Copies of this chain bind each other. A is one copy, B any other.
Amino acid sequence: MAPTIKDIAKLANVSHTTVSRALNNSPLIKEVTRKKIAEIAAQVGYVPNYNAKSLVMQRSYTIGLFFTSIAKGTSSGFFSDTIRGVNSVIDVEYNLFIRGIDDYAEYSSIHRKRFDGIILMSQSEADNKFIYHVVQQGIPIVVLNRQIDDRSIINIISNDREGAYNAGKHLIEAGHQDIAIIEGVEGFKSTQERRDGFIKALIEYNIPARNDYMISGNYDMQSGYEAMVQLLDLEKPPTAVFCSNDDMAIGAMKTVFERGLQVPNDVSIVGFDDSGFSLFANPSLTTVKRPIEKISEQGARKLLSLIKEPIENDVLISIDTEFIARESVRKLQK
């Protein structure tokens, strides 16, 4: 049905070998024959069979984009920004394959023949097993978003620690002393990094970290809501709260309003991520912009060059966050 190089060969009165070479711009082919063949190919609407090609070339023309999980724990904005970033870089000659690691019971179907390269948007330490498997299979990989100890792996992360530090600093310099933190999913590297950055700011300004001002959440709105309930129930509630992401900040704001209180007049709130709605929240949310789309673009580019030139190595790229001051923080007079 669909024309093959052999069909073209017949039409052009040459061997299929010549056709193959002509279409791949081999220097062994005379210019006139190449042109003739290209013309015929275009005319009959030839498209290469990638399965045959892959079989003989030992390449798959497939880039795998993996998440820790697609089903849960990944916020929509994060998820779609990642795909957008990668998609914008990966040429259509590649298949863009998307799955969650937790969709797999075992990894045997993930091997060299099936993936030219893998981009992992990693959120959890538990991904290490997957990474190990991929490396062992000799598949080029780029890990995004979570720092990997193995320095032979290309690693692109955002500087969450510094971002959280800036958030904390901003609150302190606005005059706040009683500052709480609502944390992300336990075990996620980002959770830890953001906590560390936040605490660094406290230490730098000699503000004691109180245990009851550190509430753990899980990055979703509901958990932010619940965490804030705990905080407002304290004998001495904080005047400001750093939420480890915007979703939880939105949830936390909800609690504040339900208590008949105001943001930022009664409680100041800072988020993290700068997700789509943070600008349109009421009040608009002061937050730390995390350049997810940039990270994934960058990651995709690195992967492509890694596939072409496998020597590259020892790369850790840290992309800076950006502090965005909006309306959810109140300046206290001292």
B-binding residues in A (CB < 8 A)? 2, 45, 47, 49-52, 54-55, 60, 62, 70-71, 74-77, 79-81, 83-84, 87-88, 92-93, 95-100, 103-104, 108-109, 111-114, 221, 225, 247, 250-251, 253-254, 257, 276-277, 279-282, 284
Contacts and interface: CB of A to CB of B under 8 A. Distances in A.
Contact of A96 (B54, B98, B111): B98
Contacts of A96: 97-99
Nearest to A82: B80
Contacts of A47: 108-109, 111
Query: Which applies to chain A's interface (DSSP): helix, strand, loop or mixed?
Result: mixed
Given A221-B279, A253-B282, A60 B51 contact: yes
B108 A277 contact: no
A284 B282 CA distance: 12
B51 A55 contact: yes
Given A52-B55, A76-B80, A87-B71, A225 B114 contact: no
Nearest to A53: B51
A26 to B, nearest CB: 22
Nearest to A72: B84
Closest 6 CB pairs of A and B: A76-B76, A51-B54, A76-B80, A51-B55, A79-B80, A76-B77
